[in-house]
Amino acid sequence: MTEITHRHVESQSGLRMHVAEAGEGPLVLLLHGFPECWYSWRHQLTALADAGYHAVAPDQRGYARTGGPLETGEYSILHLVGDVVGLIEALGGGRAVVVGHDWGAPVAWHTALMRPDKVRGVVGMSVPHRPRSSRPPVEAMRRMFGDGFYMVRFQEPGAPEAEFDGDRAAVFRRLMHGASGDGGGAAWIAPEGGGLLDTVPEPEKLPAWLSEDDIATYVAEYADSGFTGPINWYRNLDRNWELTTAWHRAQVSPPALFLAGDRDVVATGAPHAIETMTDFVPNLRETVWLSGCGHWVQQERPAEVNDALIGFLRAL
């Protein structure tokens, strides 16, 4: 049975990153989203290794065993892309296929956008590539969804992590179930005077793809880092808009693949972005929709995701 091993790697960005890895061969980086860590790729690490690849899933900046700096401004998209490029260099240089889910998808897309010389191919899951908008995003989201929308609420100092760090097991149970194909979806708009978790009920039982042991693993992985670092990613949304002026409406040139669940409100809520993605990702090879699947695609449908990834990798 293929073994997943763990170590810390000194990324050339200056961040000491925890990575889980398996296999030997061409490098495939697996970038998790919120609120996850390396563990969300547990099914892909071994499958990719068995297919002849060096699969590496880091805990990204601010997350789990990597942790991160205290300054909010050190979580910009330039820092996140820098970590990925620095990790590619630390793992032998050359080029990698960069795969990202949820928040990891924009990091993967931007790595391919900013450093195509380091990227053999790019895979986005759940979050399509979106060109830079014409105005800062936070105020636009506030006007569209209100002050209770989670990305707007995450701008507040201290309050979001106080809610999320209060009962981490409940956070993972509620969010994983609520945003999955088995849940009823999550509005992610806090009621007046309430919290974000009020929008996601405690599940009566966990879906088949998620166990109490999985929840306990996530809780243990967050034991030292908590939620401040992950939420700091959201606090840089407007700053990211300012920092990416030079790439306004630029194209992602490496070969690309997009995967999403047809019950994922993140993906289904952005039909125009997906329909027009080839305008800005001209080498998009395929868009794969997973029927009955929600947001946590690589955990909900590991076999189908593994087949799509390996097929894409072998075609490069």
Structural domains in the chain, CATH included, are 5-315 (3.40.50.1820)
Residue entry with tokens 């995003």: 137
Q: What is the pLDDT along the chain (316 residues), one digit of tens a residue?
A: 799 999 999 998 999 999 999 999 999 999 999 999 999 999 999 999 999 999 999 999 999 999 999 999 999 999 999 999 999 999 998 999 999 999 999 999 999 999 999 999 999 999 999 999 999 999 999 999 999 999 999 999 999 999 999 999 999 999 999 999 998 766 689 988 889 998 888 999 999 999 999 999 999 999 999 999 999 999 999 999 999 999 999 999 999 999 999 999 999 998 999 999 999 999 999 999 999 999 999 999 999 999 999 999 999 9
Q: Is the pTM of this model over 0.95?
A: yes
Local structure of residue 189 (DSSP, 8 states)? B
Q: How far apart are CA 265 and CA 126, in angstroms?
A: 9
Burial of 265 (0-12, 13-18, 19+ CB in 10 A): middle
Which pLDDT score is estimated for 234?
A: 98
Q: Is residue 98 within 8 Å of 111, Cβ to Cβ?
A: yes
Strands 16-22 and 5-10: antiparallel
Which pLDDT score is estimated for 306?
A: 98
Q: How far apart are CA 24 and CA 41, in angstroms?
A: 17
Which pLDDT score is estimated for 193?
A: 86
DSSP alpha helix (H) spans, the chain:
42-50, 77-90, 104-114, 137-145, 150-153, 159-166, 168-178, 212-221, 228-234, 237-243, 265-268, 271-275, 297-300, 302-315
Could you write out the DSSP letters of every residue in 111-161?
HHHH-GGGEEEEEEESS---PPPSS-HHHHHHHHH-TTBHHHHTTSSSHHH
Find the Cα–Cα–Cα–Cα dihedral 242, 244, 245, 248, rounded to 10°: -130
Nearest CA to 189 out of 158, 148, 222 is that of 148
Q: Is residue 62 within 8 Å of 228, Cβ to Cβ?
A: yes
Catalytic residues: 102, 295
The dihedral region occupied by 42, where left means phi > 0, alpha psi between -120 and 50, and beta the remainder, is: alpha
Nearest CA to 126 out of 284, 265, 275 is that of 265
pLDDT in tens, 163-180: 999 999 999 999 999 999
